[in-house]
A = this chain, B = another copy of it.
Amino acid sequence: MPIPQIIIDPLPRTMEMIFDAETRRRLENLGTLITFEPEPPTEEELDRVLGETDVLIGQTTLPSSRLERAPKLRAIFNVEGNFLPNIDYEYCFAHGIRVLVASPAFATSVAEMALAFALDLARDISAADRDFRHGVEKYGLESNRNSFLFTGCKVGLIGFGDLARAFRALLSPFRCPVKAHDPWMPDRLLLAHDCLPATLDEVLSTSDAVFVFASVTSENQGFLGKREFSLLRKGAIFVLMSRAAVVDFEALTEAVESGRIKAATDVFPVEPFAADHRIRTLPNVLLSAHRTGGMKEAFLEIGRLVVSDLELVLRGLPPISCRVAQPETVGRMRSKPVENS
């Protein structure tokens, strides 16, 4: 069998960021690596290599005109984390080229953060720490006037992909009844994860703690707006983990400002976020600068996911660890890529 040729064009990642020493060794054992770093390949460079390339790791733009020049190509691994409109997916499906994304790498990191945010809001932890630093802390019961026990509270999940499932697993010792809404998932899958399938309005109006894990698609931009926030129960907590584009951020800010709900958000309509936005000063919000996924450990996990699947693909087996692009949905994804890690 000829030695496979593997192109790597990792931007906005770097080789060092996504491959630890051991994973790098495993990768090098799989074939001949041609790495383009820190700059993506030029047209000429691509021209020279595409003809003999078996696998591409990275976000290289791949219209059919380029794909046609890569007759041996078997798999493309996105290491940024979102399916992007950089590839002619139709061409890939018709020609048996697997397109994969290493997004499950972020599940652990995001899931534990979602739980942390919820506990912080339910128990007023950062708010109480702030009071302590200002010398105005309250002790005992008095300090817990606005707190509630997270254990056993009613949880609602919006979106039930990799991230939400990792989060659901963390909830299990808390004995929370969980409702979930995801229009792409069948009821039986939700039930198999101990979630009660529910409409969006039901999730919003009956939960003590609502978590948004939904990706942005062509169909759901801004679907959480003024009406939806008004459905939340007084005192509920709202945790936004996925993308700012799924909410009307001003409506969220107003809901927090009114004091009706507490909220945590990891994402903002523009990042860096406006220095003077009033949400920065509200007492009942927890602010996180797009930092729940972007950890050293998560980036190294990307490398492990890719190499694990690449080992299978090169042995003629189906990939398992990365998420596989599905013809039905890949064209509907609308997440903006990160510009740098």
Which residues on A are within 8 Å of B, measured CB to CB?
Answer: 93-94, 96, 108-109, 111-113, 115-117, 119-120, 123, 125-126, 128-133, 135, 137-141, 143-144, 147-152, 169-170, 172-174, 184-189, 271-273, 275, 280-281, 286-291, 294-299, 304-305, 308-309, 311-313, 316-318, 320-321, 326-329, 338, 340-341
B311 contacts A186, CB within 8 Å?
Answer: yes
The count of identical subunits is 4
Known contacts A139-B289, A141-B299, A316-B328; can you find 15 more A-B pairs with CB under 8 A? A96-B327, A115-B115, A116-B123, A119-B119, A120-B120, A125-B126, A126-B129, A137-B273, A139-B290, A140-B294, A186-B309, A186-B312, A188-B304, A313-B328, A318-B326
- How far is B281's CA from A24's CA once the two chains are assembled, in angstroms? 43
Main secondary structure of the interface of A (DSSP, over half): helix
Residues of chain B contacted by A138 (CB below 8 angstroms): 289, 291
Residues of chain B contacted by A137 (CB below 8 angstroms): 272-273, 287, 289
Which residue of the partner chain, among B93, B296, B326, contacts A144 with CB atoms under 8 Å? B296
Q: Please name the residue on chain B nearest to A148 by beta carbon.
A: B297
Q: Please name the residue on chain B nearest to A186 by beta carbon.
A: B308
B317 contacts A149, CB within 8 Å?
Answer: no
Residues of chain B contacted by A338 (CB below 8 angstroms): 140
Which residue of the partner chain, among B93, B131, B141, B341, contacts A296 with CB atoms under 8 Å? B141
